[in-house]
Structure 1
Amino acid sequence: MSITQQYLLDTYRAQRLGETPQPPPGTHDLRTLRELRGYRQFRAVVAERPAHGRLRRALGRLLHPQARSAC
């Protein structure tokens, strides 16, 4: 059974029982991703690591290994 079929079945059951139907699949995906990003940034701060820009810095080191400063 696909997720769409399950959603339609749940909506039908909720309607028959007089309950409020669940939101359609994918409704809260962006909010969930934002919360996950915020949680990862929080964990980075707690672990005393940079909270953002880690991926870009790592890719920069891979693409330009000789561009490091001499400080």
Structure 2
Amino acid sequence: MSVTQQYLFDTYRAQHHGEPAPPAPGTHDWQVVRELREYRRFRAVVAGRPARGRLRAALGRWLNGRPHASC
């Protein structure tokens, strides 16, 4: 069963039981991405690593071939 078929089935069932319709697939995707990003930043801070700019600093070290002073 595809995601669309499952959504239509759940909507039909909710309508017949007098419940609110479920959110459409993909409605909250960006919210989940933002929460994941915030969670990863939080874990970095708790672990004592910089929360921002780690990827850019790593790419800069790799491309330039020299060590980068960390904060």
**TM-score between the two structures when normalised by the length of structure 2:** 0.89
Aligned to 2:12: 12
Do the aligned partners of residues 16 and 61 (structure 1) sit closer, same or farther apart at CA in structure 2, a change above 3 Å counting? same
| Superposed CA offset, 1:34-70 (max 9, x none) | 011001000100100000111111111111114857x
Runs of 4+ aligned structure 1 residues displaced above 6 Å come to: none
- Letter paired with 1:7: Y
Q: Equivalent pairs: percent with the same residue?
A: 65
Query: SS where residue 18 of structure 1 aligns?
Result: coil
Name structure 1 gaps, 5 residues minimum: none
- Letter paired with 1:43: R
Assess if the C-alpha contact under 8 Å between 2:41 and 2:51 holds in 1: yes
Q: CA RMSD in A?
A: 1.5
C-alpha distance in 2, partners of 1:30/1:10? Answer: 22
C-alpha distance in 1, partners of 2:66/2:45? Answer: 29
Name the count of aligned residue pairs: 69
C-alpha distance in 1, partners of 2:66/2:49? Answer: 24
Do the aligned partners of residues 9 and 32 (structure 1) sit closer, same or farther apart at CA in structure 2, a change above 3 Å counting? same
